[in-house]
Structure 1
């Protein structure tokens, strides 16, 4: 007989306090969240035939988190672990706090969906973003982007992208790249996207810099090499479909070629080689971790090519 771990015995011992009639029954959803996190559910089906897939929601989320780890490591190398860590702490504390609160009010289990969202949000914001702004963006994304629609699996927007959109429009001077406001309120950092407006010759970053992420920009979306490692993990594990990724790349190349044909001169920004766009800040990250979102992305194989 397999010996139970200390954590399993502890969770089993305190279970009666969180069940109906127990002293802390109102915290049943919180207990279930930790119980599911540390082990598989204790309830087994015993009647009828059931089709099972080893890649359940928890394993899917963990797989995506593992795929994001190369980007996390790259961000720590470029910016420093103790500069990156506060972004993740604030994101998870605020996001999970809201998730737990909604689960308690609804009397439902806490979903594992925020494990991935909490990893992505810090990667698509600049390292200099004030923590209170990040907290506001996370709260907005979780409440407006997911919870008002019923939680994980029922949201119509990607919460991570909604958090970035919130920061982009609410606090443009703290975001990187081109902004929607006049230059007086715009960020002054020379990111590749800002430099490329003057044509390829005005870009001071080499292809190597773009590939390895030695450029200013958001925390975790600059290192193309790390993103490719993540894509490999997603594809090998079956957590993501190759159709969405490749169609995104093909679409970018097609638009780049059209821009080349429309370029008025070789020095124009439109004359930038199509493949160069694949290395620009944010594209590879979006093609791997945003387009493949199982909730807001396309569901059919044909739809994935079109999407």
Structure 2
């Protein structure tokens, strides 16, 4: 992994011991797919970062410098780019300094392995997401609920260990999404996705899909997901992930999902690789 650390506009070799991101998870992050050193959805990621900073009343670094450093770090690579921005260093205690100089970290990672073209296996997670509208939608640095949910794979039956993702519900029981992806289901010819007004992350790929499908944001229960005509997950690194199996439920690859993957490849060149790998006729 290659990484660069900054405080304001100055590069450092380490993170301060008193950094609030380390102490309290007081920060935000974006995980982006780069293609040949470029991040096609950069503007969408930065806009979400700005919304999160406004909610947390936190200062962001200069966008131009972050983008320039990102380009240098990527150096033309196909990779995953992660940007973490914390409020910065502060004294002990929860009270935030809204004028603190932010710490920001850029890191480059390998692309994930391609998922099966005919769909992935998923499972239900026991860990629930707490309701907190003040943090809903933003990608803040406290992801302990997702960490606990993902750890469930180590304790599950063998038949579930091939699951690539797990679906999470809120403490009230409605389905919110996957541990690291948003959820879409097809019911009665209409595409639906969970509302992200009380918990969960409003994904960048989710926003693109909403525009493409005209999907409705609703409260979804477990039964509504399991009896859907088609189910898929999406995020900005893996793209569109058709769900082939969820517990005892199975789905064939739906033609609308296949068509959506083709439109995604046209909109984001990084996903052309996904499409070619999973559709031999396109190679």
Common topology (TM > 0.5): no
Q: Hey, which of these two has a bigger chunk of helix by percent? A: 1
Q: TM-score scaled to structure 2, two decimals?
A: 0.30
Point out the structure with max Rg over C-alpha: 1
Q: Hey, which of these two has a bigger chunk of strand by percent? A: 2
Q: TM-score scaled to structure 1, two decimals?
A: 0.29
Higher-RCO chain (CA-CA 8 Å, sequence separation at least 6): 2
